[in-house]
Amino acid sequence: MYSMHCYNIQYYHNLHDVARLAKVERYSSFLPWCKESRWIDSSHEVKIRPYPVSSNAILGVKFGIFNEKYISTVTYHYPLYIKAVASDDSLFKHLETTWNFSEGASSGLTLLEFKISFEFKDFLHQKCAKLFINKISRTMVNSFISETKRGINCYRKIKTT
């Protein structure tokens, strides 16, 4: 059974922040618990196109006693969304994270929806993840916003489901 979490916020910044999330090689510098992030194709460059583009990346995650790596297929459709799906079966039965971006009602307002659904192969991993999913989601979103704002945290939480 998958665990699903959704976190919605609005914040004041440019909609084109989605380009920051397309740069997988930067994940480990601002996303918590991400200790390694690199494209499998070392010559990969983010090319912003008006249609979805996908590529594979290796992501390393360290959370408490857990230190794991997995391959993720990252699809970005500038400036609408970034989706990452675990594409190997070493750690997860299922993992999908999606960052959706849309323009807000007023100038400079961006609506961000972060979704994560997952099921670990290992029972202990699954149990721990369910205990901390709210903290993990909130921290990931706040870290991304801090990255876009370079430390200035100015957002309003709308809804967490």
pTM of the predicted model as reported, rounded to 2 decimal places: 0.77
Q: Is residue 37 within 8 Å of 57, Cβ to Cβ?
A: yes
Residue 22, domain CATH: 3.30.530.20
- Residues in Cβ contact with 82 at an 8 Å cutoff, skipping those fewer than 6 apart: 18, 21, 22, 74, 75, 76, 98, 99
Q: Which two tokens stand for residue 49?
A: 């196109």
pLDDT number for residue 155 = 41
Quote the number of domains for the chain.
1
C-alpha span between 57 and 42 (Å, rounded): 10
- Residue 141: give the domain boundaries: 3-160
Q: Which two tokens stand for residue 108?
A: 């400079």
Q: What is the DSSP letter of 53?
A: E
113: pLDDT strictly greater than 70: yes
In the structure, what pLDDT confidence band is assigned to residue 151 with cuts at 50, 70 and 90? very low
